[in-house]
Chain A
């Protein structure tokens, strides 16, 4: 049996995806081999994946949200995965993309933290340093043609300054007052920008939480790889706190009126 989830799944639909190229561009090639093309093949795609991570700046710091799902292709495989990870005392890193690569990232950051703690000289890694480190790691890996298949958001608060940045599998970095990875970059980012831009110093913690919850709700409605179970991390002068998992109220009664898919016959 072919165990690659992307090779099974949706039937081909001539109307919008005649060649079954959506949503993943590259699939493993299982046909006859070209003897002369026998080079090293490294990661071609993520396997167990997390979807969007959202983050915004607000009055007292930065807030980040991600759901608890790790998908195996279209299968909702693990429903209790934490995708927000605390590093040191000032930073949270949130990941979309390949979850085993993210676990590896957590390991190298743990290694780094222990090194830093061992020095015990009062110097601590803050979000700025961790961002720089991650961007170097991600860029070095992609330059070896062996990327860590993730999009990362790095959020922190140190020395009275908030920090929020993005790093991806190519080593691309940028920063803004609202950031989103994965599907959220398309669906949630416009909502976040509308709610936050220009108001970073006004938005209260409650309001920030509501903005993220609303966006998570929209994502849950529209992103087939998402889950209505998520966590929120707040990073402020009070330090880092990552909430327990929570759920949002959603309404599905409208589904009955939709025709054309599912169990209905007409």
Chain B
């Protein structure tokens, strides 16, 4: 495999001013199955593709609740995600205790980004190997953020991470301008369409492998919930009604771009879809 002099630890800049260890950590995110996030004026949603190691195994957990007003979907190393989400929960609870308010979502994301930055600068650590999509709502409405191991975080209208997420991104870029005014059902349908793009040829979205996370008021297929609409995860039979709403994939009219070739530097990038370590 290709090796380069400047990639053995994270305290070394390459002559181009790049940090190879950090870039490899970004590859770890792409090892995980895809997650998609979208936002309208009223809702923010997450959709994720769950993997299973076999018939006897359950499907993995792709979404975590942080607080009533925040939830995340992950791609990459699940164990790293659990550490970071635990930290986020503590932050959010601290804010409720000290100020009696939901923690502003951007600050929550920045707090883990700052944590991640340290792991890119000091010896003896490795950057986190997980990326998040974070949805939340606060005084300024619904939000969608991406967190990545490089210590960066950005706010998006829509975003996808994980394996073959570029295909989903292409779909989102084509449609994002209509998301703002979508109702919850349409937003989820767009999300599923985007998520579908990340599937391998012979696979399909079904009630077992699809998770949907929602923040915002009750949708027409949901049981009544209190007004602000705290974070909830839909799985199994609850997903059915949304899967039904999907339109048939137009094969020819809308050719999905070829999956991004796995970079040579990433070990085992082309490995089996069901890598157990990865999220």
Nearest chain B CB to A48 CB, angstrom units: 29
Q: A123-B138, A123-B139, A123-B140 are in contact. Are A136 and B104 (CB under 8 A)?
A: no
**Cα–Cα, bound, A136→B98 (Å):** 6
**Cα–Cα, bound, A128→B97 (Å):** 12
Give the chain A neighbours of B97 by CB distance below 8 A.
136
In contact, B100 and A132 (Cβ under 8 angstroms): yes
Q: A119-B106, A123-B139, A132-B99 are in contact. List 20 more A-B contacts (CB 8 A).
A: A119-B104, A119-B107, A121-B107, A121-B140, A123-B104, A123-B107, A123-B138, A123-B140, A125-B99, A128-B100, A128-B101, A129-B99, A129-B100, A129-B101, A131-B100, A132-B98, A132-B100, A132-B101, A133-B98, A136-B97
A interface residues, how many (CB within 8 angstroms): 11
**Cα–Cα, bound, A133→B100 (Å):** 8
Give the residues from 204 to 236 in chain B that come closer than 8 angstroms, CB to CB, to chain A.
Answer: none
| Closest chain B residue, CB of each to CB of A131 | B100
Give the residues from 54 to 78 in chain A that come closer than 8 angstroms, CB to CB, to chain B.
Answer: none
Nearest chain B CB to A96 CB, angstrom units: 24
Cβ of A122 within 8 Å of any chain B Cβ, yes or no, is yes
**Cα–Cα, bound, A121→B101 (Å):** 15
| Closest chain A residue, CB of each to CB of B106 | A121
Among B99, B101, B106, B139, find the residue whose CB has the most chain A CB atoms closer than 10 A.
B99
Give the chain B neighbours of A129 by CB distance below 8 A.
99-101
Nearest chain A CB to B92 CB, angstrom units: 14
Among A121, A128, A136, find the residue whose CB has the most chain B CB atoms closer than 10 A.
A121
Q: List 25 A-B contacts (CB under 8 A).
A: A119-B104, A119-B106, A121-B104, A121-B106, A121-B107, A121-B140, A122-B139, A123-B104, A123-B107, A123-B138, A123-B139, A123-B140, A125-B99, A128-B100, A128-B101, A129-B99, A129-B100, A129-B101, A131-B100, A132-B98, A132-B99, A132-B100, A133-B99, A136-B97, A136-B98
Give the chain B neighbours of A136 by CB distance below 8 A.
97-98
| Closest chain A residue, CB of each to CB of B101 | A129
| Closest chain A residue, CB of each to CB of B138 | A123
**Cα–Cα, bound, A121→B140 (Å):** 9
Nearest chain A CB to B114 CB, angstrom units: 12
In contact, A122 and B140 (Cβ under 8 angstroms): yes
| Closest chain B residue, CB of each to CB of A129 | B99
**Cα–Cα, bound, A133→B97 (Å):** 8
